[in-house]
A = this chain, B = another copy of it.
Amino acid sequence: MKLYSYFRSSAAYRLRIALNLKCLAYEQVPISLLKDEQSQDSYAAINPQRLVPALDDGGELLTQSMAICEYLDETYPDPPLLPKNAPERARVRALSLAIACEIHPLNNLRVLKYLKHTLKQDDEQRNNWYRHWIAEGLAPVEKMLAASPRTGRFCHGDMPGLADIFLVPQVFNALRYECSLDAYPTIRRINDECLNLPAFAAAKPDAQPDAVS
């Protein structure tokens, strides 16, 4: 498998965790967002959305990290990323989407660029924007996790799964932008549990071949 990736892309980070949890071997093809390589026509031929990540699984080109995680879970079912019954699967997907739809898209590099170049927002205004959506988004995720007996060592029970795959890269981003996580004790606890696992630790941005400081 070939993973088109950027060390700091949190959507790529999700896939590195998923592939590691499944013990699937993959080669990383670095696409530098800093150098805008994702916008080049050569990459658009792989992913017309000009976004990382994309996964090439034996010639099948897959895009969108959530769709790829579902594909991996259907194609390589062991260990599973989703529980067995429909209401529990819905809970795990809802937690994942509460991050994938409500937080991450607003803090994407292209959005920050639009705020800077088109709306002429300065560093402080952009940082406030970033932290606003992190706080707006993590608070309900904390509530959903803290309120449910289905939460265990991880987001759902005692095995890591899809929601953890989405949570950890989002927490990484929050820390990078110096957001306080004091109000989210369950999220912090689960994030720590995850990072103790080799599958998560090996997926960290600074452990990737294309990492630059």
Q: Which residues of A pack against B, CB within 8 Å?
A: 48-51, 60, 62-64, 66-68, 70-71, 74-75, 86-87, 89-91, 93-94, 96-98, 100-102, 104-106, 110-111, 114, 118-119, 121, 125, 128-129, 132, 136, 140, 143-144, 147
Contact = CB atoms under 8 A, between A and B. Distances in A.
Contacts of A110: 136
Contact of A102 (B62, B75, B90, B105): B105
Nearest to A50: B140
A71 B87 contact: yes
Contacts of A104: 101
Contacts of A89: 70-71, 74
A132 B119 CA distance: 12
A49 B102 contact: yes
A67 B93 contact: yes
B62 A90 contact: yes
Nearest to A100: B101
Contacts of A71: 86-87, 89-90, 93
A90 B136 CA distance: 29
Contacts of A70: 89-90, 93
B147 A98 contact: no
Contacts of A60: 87, 90
Contacts of A86: 71, 74-75
